[in-house]
Amino acid sequence: MLGAARRQLGSGHMLAQVLRRLRPAAAASTEAARGYSSAAKEITVRDALNSALDEEMSADPSVFLMGEEVGEYQGAYKITKGLLDKYGPDRVLDTPITEAGFTGIGVGAAYQGLRPVIEFMTFNFSMQAIDHIINSAAKSNYMSAGQINVPIVFRGPNGAAAGVGAQHSQCYAAWFAHVPGLKVLAPYSSEDARGLLKAAIRDPDPVVFLENELLYGESFPVSDEVLDSSFALPIGKAKIEREGKDVTITAFSKMVGYALQAAEILSKEGISAEVINLRSIRPLDRAAINASVRKTNRLVTLEEGFPQHGVGAEICMSVVEESFEYLDAPIERIAGADVPMPYAANLERLAVPQIEDIVRAARRACYRALPMAATA
C-alpha cells in the first residue's frame, strides 16, 4: 500500500450516521450572532474540508489520504468526495478496519517525507491507534533531536453526535492537548475548517484535527479571501466571534454556535458577552483569552467534554495565573456531565451543555442570578 503511494508520489466499524441537527437559532439573527461581516457566498463545513484537501493535494504531490471508506465510498461523511476519481487509488487509499495498522503506516510515511492525512471514521476509534499517535508521531521530533519531522494530520469527527451511545460520543480535545509534540485544532465554521485544515497539512508537526459530525452540513458565509487557494489560518490563534464588555465566553467546535446564541439572548437582558472561538486547543491562545478577561472581568468556559482535567480547567488556571486580579466574579465552567454518554435521547441532552446552561452561567457571573451554592 505505502509502496504504491510512494511510487506515485515520487513520479509527479460502522456506517456513518447521517443525522443532521440544526442549531435552534432564529434565521433572522443567525449572521449577526455569528459575528460575520458581509461575505461573497456560503459553503458548508463539509465542502470547506473537501476543498482544502483537494487544493493541498493538487499543490503538493506528497499529500495523500488514508482511512476506512475514504475512496470508493467517498468518505463516511463525504468529506473526500471526488478525490479518488481525481487523484487515483495511490493517493486516496481505502484501508481495512484496522486503525492501528493504517495509522502506523501513515506515521512511517511521514518519517520518509510524505504528508499523510489519516481519517478516523470517529475519533473514538483513534484509541486503537493511540500508541502511534502519542509515542511515535508526537515524540519523534524531540527524541531525534530535531532530525525527524512527522508532518501528518489525524482528522475526523469528534465529540457527541446523536444517539450513538457512550463508546462513540467522547470529546478527545483534552486527551490529545495533554501531549507535548501534538498540535490540536477544533474548527467551528467553514472558514475555520478550510483555513485550519490547510495549515495542518502544511505544518511540519503532527496535528490532531477534531471536526464535529453535526456541523458538516451547516453553511457559513465565507469571503473571497477564504476561498483563495493560498488561504490558511495561523495555528495557535483564537478568533473573537462576537465582541462584548461584560463577560467572556470561551468555546470551541460546535459549542461556539451555542455560545453565540446564548450571547444573543443575553444581549436582550443588557449583558454584553464576548465570545472567543478557540480554534486551537494546543497551542492555546492564552494571550487572547487573558486580554478579553482583563476587559470584561468575568469568564465562562464552555466545552462538551468531561469536566475533570478538561480544556476549561486549563483556561481557568491560565486566567488565575495571569489575570486573577482582574476578575470581578468567580469563573464559571460549563462541561459535559461526568458520566459516560447515555443512549436515551432525554438523558443525552442532559449530559451535554445546552444554551440555557450558558445563559444561566453568564447571569451568575454578572450577578444577575443567585449563585449555584445559594440555590442548592
| 99 classed as catalytic | yes
Nearest to 353 by CA among 237, 268, 262: 262
Catalytic residue among 55, 56, 68, 168: 168
Phi, psi angles (nearest 5°) of residue 318: -60, -40
| 309 classed as catalytic | no
Catalytic residue among 55, 68, 99, 303: 99
DSSP string for 211-279: E-GGGTT-EEEE-HHHHSTT--PPTT--EEEE--SSEEEEE-THHHHHHHHHHHHHHTTT--EEEEE--
What the block records as the C-alpha cell of 322 is: 495571569
CA distance 40 to 63: 29
On the CB side of 324, CA atoms within 13 Å amount to 4
Element (H, E) at 100: helix 99-111
Active site residues: 99, 168
